[in-house]
Chains A and B, each alone.
Chain A
């Protein structure tokens, strides 16, 4: 899977547009986009880590934000990033997943939160999924 997102213009914060062939891929690329912005410096020698998450939310857009918020929390508290996600359950209102990642020495940037502002997740006519997310930094 490739990292696929672009940074959009926003006065104060960080807005990204993410693409994916499937909903799962769009969620994963959103995660990679978010993590790149944290500018992590990996621990050396490498230390692996594994987590599990379970999320319930009202709809697909909201669950994308809640998914990212949950991972942002885990990432900041445990000082780690995740390079792979295995979805055990993937519905518009419920996600269960295993996260596989690496420990981080430090982050070069802080993301305060994932916002619901102008949030958009949709499938384009060419069947590609696209999401727009604003992070407060």
Chain B
């Protein structure tokens, strides 16, 4: 059991478990949390899972946990591992099943006041236009050939087909396409699971939210991002759906025997299922993971298309369009370069429930944002605030990673026992928030009381300088997946 005595306080917002804590640790483990949140985190197994991350072959500097961390499987959610590609591993389990689960933010030129008369109708039409993908609503089944094109072309493929604008691609991580994707690395099963799910929201914590800009913290950056006070915006949260889940399932199944018998790699949890990054199997997993990431960008792009369709049908053809501010993943494996011990080293950054946050001047961010830094989109739990932040130079200490959400504090099961979906809806409606959902049970599982306080999480990443607050968004209408 880990206790507070095992920690070294680095700062008010950074705590370290030294390498000596467990003999199999290769690097120290660091958690970006306040003292209060650290004490909270002893209630689940997230810190033990973080120590497990510190044992992965090739891990550089530290195993990291973001303030929204909570217990998951293999790594804790909110975990970051930068693994040297020359002699380290690749772990599909450390990325998680929902490859490229992420956020997209669409911004309007209107204020909340201007949209208010249309709000109820807009929420209704958007819910109708964006299917959950679990059997309700529109069902389009693509051919395997069409899926292959999406796997290698990502959001770019969708935009080429007329479902978006050039700016959607510019304002998206990796321009919505990882070029090392290879559709032949993805199983037919995975492709089959993806055939009828392009443009679907999914279930669980995935949602669409109609929001307004409540507060501005950094006027200069907000202006560059195109954000202003009381502005009406739309946030999309979802990932690669069944296709991504199957890609991860397939590679875990293949890698467990390979890891144990062929490569003789020992890890504390089979769920890490890793092989050497540079092995043929490792490279294939990387290509497959890129396919799933591309599918997720295509999925969010297609959802944006449906949202825009609803927007036009409710506000009229002449309504000024919804522009994409940014689209960013929070479950992904990416090759990045860092100076470590005076040398430039290529690492495979595994982010599981952590958002990339590149600093000003970074070549991989859109030119229009390059002077100020990468936009970071962090949603709160249902009905609470969300934030737009910006990457900072200081973020390098965390391999340019920051939080990805509020982080659960209560199991879904416990949440449904503690509070009814009806009560949750009533309390949201009492705050003036419109709720569109298919079941009360799904709503209860996502009740705000089942999550950490998003404001506290954001304060930690802001104070620890992993990313800086730009604006706070509050919900006007919530549309939940199934």
A7 neighbours in B (Cβ, 8 Å): 413
Residue contact B256 to A12, C-beta cutoff 8 Å: no
Given A58-B256, A62-B256, A77-B192, decide whether A109 and B97 contact each other with a Cβ distance below 8 A: no
List the B residue with the shortest CB-CB distance to A69.
Answer: B249
- A129–B221 Cα distance when bound, in Å, is 59
In the complex the two chains form, is B73's CB within 8 Å of A117's CB? yes
Given A73-B246, A106-B135, A136-B96, decide whether A116 and B252 contact each other with a Cβ distance below 8 A: yes
Within A83-137, the residues touching B (CB, 8 Å) are 104-110, 112-119, 134, 136-137
Q: Does B189 lie within 8 Å of A73, measured CB to CB?
A: yes
CB pair A112–B412 under 8 Å, yes or no, is no
- Residues of chain A within 8 A (CB-CB) of B242 are 76-77
User: A14 with B135: in contact, given A110-B202, A110-B204, A115-B73 (CB under 8 Å)?
Assistant: no
Expressed in whole angstroms, the Cα–Cα distance for A66 and B254 within the complex equals 10
Which of B27-35, B267-275, B427-435 participates in binding chain A? B267-275
Write the B90-105 contact mask toward A (1 if CB under 8 angstroms, else 0): 0001001110000000
Query: Given A73-B193, A116-B270, does the pair A11, B97 have CB atoms closer than 8 Å?
Result: no
**Please, how many angstroms separate the alpha-carbon atoms of A113 and B242 in the complex?**
9
**CB–CB B245/A113 < 8 A:** yes
Is B60 located at the chain interface by the 8 A CB criterion?
no
A18 to B265, CA, bound (A): 30
Across-interface contacts of B202 in A (CB, < 8 A): 110
Contact A113 B249 (CB under 8 A): yes
Residues of B within 8 A of A (CB): 44, 46, 70-74, 77, 93, 96-98, 134-136, 189, 192-193, 202-204, 242, 245-246, 248-249, 252-253, 256-257, 260-261, 269-271, 273, 408-414, 438-439, 441-442, 482
Q: Are A13 and B73 in contact (CB under 8 A)?
A: yes
**Alpha-carbon separation in the docked complex, A114 to B269 (Å):** 15
Q: Is A9 interfacial (CB-CB < 8 Å)? A: yes
Which 7 pairs from chain A and chain B are nearest by CB? Answer: A106-B135, A117-B73, A110-B203, A117-B271, A11-B71, A113-B97, A112-B245
From A12, A62, A69, A105, B135 is in contact (CB under 8 Å) with: A105
Task: Tell which of B134, B189, B270 has the most Cβ of chain A within 10 Å.
Answer: B134
Chain B positions within 8 Å of A113 at CB level: 97, 245, 248-249
CB distance B97 to A117 under 8 Å?
Answer: no
Whole-angstrom CA separation of A12 from B261 in the bound complex? 31
Smallest CB–CB gap between B312 and chain A, Å?
28
- Asked if A108 meets B256 with Cβ closer than 8 Å, knowing A73-B189, A76-B193, A114-B249, the reply is no
Interface check A79, CB cutoff 8 A: yes
Interface range, A side = 35 or more
Q: B residues within 8 A CB of A44?
A: none
Residues of A within 8 A of B97 (CB): 112-113, 115, 136
| Other contacts beyond A108-B482, A112-B97: 8, CB < 8 A | A9-B413, A58-B257, A65-B253, A76-B242, A113-B249, A115-B93, A117-B271, A119-B270
| Contact between chains at A116 and B203 (CB < 8 Å) | no
**Chain B residues, CB < 8 A from A118:** 73, 269
List, sorted by A's number, 19 A–B pairs whose CB atoms are closer than 8 Å. A10-B71, A11-B44, A12-B70, A12-B77, A12-B408, A12-B412, A14-B413, A62-B256, A69-B253, A73-B193, A105-B135, A106-B136, A109-B134, A109-B442, A112-B204, A113-B97, A116-B73, A136-B73, A136-B98
| Chain B residues, CB < 8 A from A110 | 134, 202-204, 482
**Complex alpha-carbon distance, A115 and B98, angstroms:** 13
Other-chain contact of B256, A11, A76, A107, A116 (Cβ < 8 Å): A116
In the complex the two chains form, is A116's CB within 8 Å of B273's CB? yes
Give complex CA distance A136, B77 in Å. Answer: 12
Distance, CA A12 to CA B96, complexed state (A)? 13
Determine the chain A residues whose CB is within 8 A of the CB of B256 once the complex forms: 58, 62, 116
Bound form: Cα–Cα A74–B42 in Å: 39
